[in-house]
Chain A
Amino acid sequence: MNGGSVGTGIIYYLGIMLICAPFLRQNVLWLPVVFLLAWGIRRGGALLAANEKVTSLRGRSDRFFARRRMPLVALVALVFLIMPLCASGYLVEVLTSAFLYAILASALNITVGLTGVLVLGFIGFYAIGAYTTGILTAKFALCGFWTALPLSGLAAMLCGVLLGIPTLRLKGDYLAIVTLGFGEIVRIFLNNLDPLTGGPNGILGIKRPSLGPFTADSATAFYYVTFAFLAATVFVVARLIDSRYGRAWVAVRENEMAAGALGIDVFRKHLLSFSISAFFAGIAGSLFAVKQGFISPDSFTFYESVLVLCMVVLGGLGNVAGALLGAGLLVVVPEVLREFALYRMLVFGAVMIAFMIFRPHGILGSRTIALERKDAADVSE
């Protein structure tokens, strides 16, 4: 039931695996030592995190940001709007990719963070969105991007509903396994459904979107397109969270029995959050297809699902800004670490473990946006 602790565990041990990877090729006997070491670090970190001074500092910084939310959002948005004017083409590419992941993380955050349903095969919806666009615009050239985009979202949503109806009554870990299976099934389908998906060769020649005379051909133009979609997604998600729907989702996460006793249909709330998540994943998939111009099943592996889940957990479950920050970090940090070549993933793993030790509830904490705002009001009273 507890997506938080499971997700935290996954990040932690994924980190350990990454650290181990270079060594293990030489000697597997190191594995127990590494795990023991990691366990020790985790215990020690927990003790440090319980320290009074660390806690009070954290509380103060949380309140500082909670009180200045709107200006902060505007500032961040402004930075990202100006960025391409003075950044290298490489950075623009990386950020565009980060935006796509941010859409995915924001979407997954609804299901995992707010509703407390652990989904492991989320990338399946992303794949469905990408392939819907690929098939509609390139493979059979039935329509343009702007028609394919909403259809991609709806296709993913439909699959979400179809998957959700029989499975969302399952509890916690069982559901996680089913969704994991779903992600794999989608990938295997894509690999073998040659007439429709092109099999392992994928689909080529997906065109960038155009609006009238303007085509988002350049990296910079597409950067802005993606940014616009990310902004829209965050806007919708944030507003849903700060409404009766968000409250009902959190209530279901906190206690299904109590939510049921208050007249909330737990199953329907699960299904709603699941299908909304799937919809936005489909949209992100569609954007991914036109960004790459080429899609193949290799882009939609289980690793990607875990990565998106890590973004949500790392940033803070149920936290809108957290999902964005998590996506940014998990896309940008590995890029920055490229200089370390062989040890890149080692350092990356260590960074993730450090975060989980010092901020077990995610970097920005697992509060919802609605809660933050009321806290702010409370402080100013």
Chain B
Amino acid sequence: MEFGGLKALSRVSIRVGAGEILAVIGPNGAGKSTFFNAVTGTYKPSGGAVYLRGERITGLPPHEIARRGVARSFQNLKPFAEMTVTENVLVGREVHFRSSLLSAVVRGGRFREDERRHRERARELVEFVGLGARRNTLARDLTYGEQKMLEIARALALEPRLLLLDEPVAGMNPTETGFVMELVRKVQAQGITVLLIEHDMRMVMGISERIYVLDHGELIACGTPDEVRNDPQVIAAYLGGGKNARAQ
């Protein structure tokens, strides 16, 4: 997969190998979320291209990109508030349903089989993110942290090849952060590529194999956690000073 020179940002080229955990970091306003939105089709990039397994997916509508195996969570949470946890995850299974409109009325064997199988998978995912006890709770009644977990479960329900997580542990305590890190590792173990945006350096340095650093819409560094940690430009971007210094 490669995302070449998106002009919404500029000259940002990121290559994601299958099964990797990558992080995109950078100060607020660096263009991280814009990058995600360009990849998932929420924004149409004015230039550049996004390839998924060799197929150009630039400019496709978000649902088409999702159907090709790109799932995401949102930085500002977007749960289906009036639905239960299980139902939220079931909506994520939607693209895998095979039963037709007519069968939904008649309720033949195929419909029931479809419903049963996907409910079971949804239940597994709900357990997987640790919301088992809350599966019949309305999403709007969940705590902030629980809603974040719900977003991950919902995205995983799509059975994606690539999972984009936008600040999955923002606002979480260290215990919760540890849980999410463990979760992301398990997701990777299932062969899913994970690309995350995160400010929490413990998480970023702890699980990413490679890190891309954005500042002012440009890629200023990339490499292993150790390389990035010692990169002078990265330090400058985060602490101020250097050519990209902003008024503090």
Binding site for B on A (CB under 8 A): 235-236, 239-240, 243-245, 247-248, 250-251, 254-255, 257-266, 272, 366-367, 370-371, 374-375, 377-378
**Do B63 and A254 touch across chains, with their CB atoms under 8 A apart?**
no
A-B pairs with lowest CB-CB distance, top 8: A243-B104, A263-B66, A254-B80, A263-B95, A258-B78, A260-B62, A378-B136, A251-B91
B67 in the interface (beta carbon within 8 A): yes
List of A residues within 8 angstroms of B95 by Cβ: 262-264
Q: Which residues in B have some Cβ–Cβ distance to A below 8 Å?
A: 40, 42, 61-63, 66-67, 71-72, 74, 78-84, 86-87, 90-92, 94-95, 97, 99, 101, 104-105, 107, 111, 114-115, 136, 138, 154-155, 157-158
User: Are B61 and A262 within 8 A (Cβ)?
Assistant: no
Q: Are B80 and A251 neighbours in the complex by a CB distance under 8 Å?
A: yes
When the two chains form their complex, are residues B158 and A262 in contact, meaning their CB atoms are under 8 A apart? yes
Do B91 and A247 touch across chains, with their CB atoms under 8 A apart?
yes
Distance in angstroms from B216 CB to nearest chain A CB is: 26
* A371: contacting residue among B63, B71, B87, B115, CB under 8 A: B87
B61, B105, B154, B158 interface centre (most CB from chain A within 10 Å): B105
In the complex, residue of chain A having the shortest beta-carbon distance to the beta carbon of B78: A258
Chain A residues closer than 8 Å to B74, beta-carbon distance = 257-258, 261
B63 to A374, Cβ gap below 8 A? no
Contact of B83 with A371 in the complex, beta carbons under 8 Å: yes
A374 to B84, Cβ gap below 8 A? yes
Q: B78, B104, B105, B154: which contacts A244 (Cβ < 8 A)?
A: B104
Given A374-B84, A374-B86, A378-B136: A260 and B63 interface contact (C-beta under 8 Å): yes
Distance in angstroms between the alpha carbons of A371 and B141 in the assembled complex:
14
Chain B residue numbers with a CB within 8 Å of A235 are 105
**Which of A236, A262, A366, A375 neighbours the largest number of chain B CB atoms within 10 Å of its CB?**
A262
Interface residue from A239, A254, A263, A378 paired with B83 (Cβ < 8 Å): A254
Q: A244 contacts B66, CB within 8 Å?
A: no
Contacts A/B (CB < 8 Å), 6 sampled: A235-B105, A259-B91, A260-B63, A261-B66, A261-B71, A262-B91
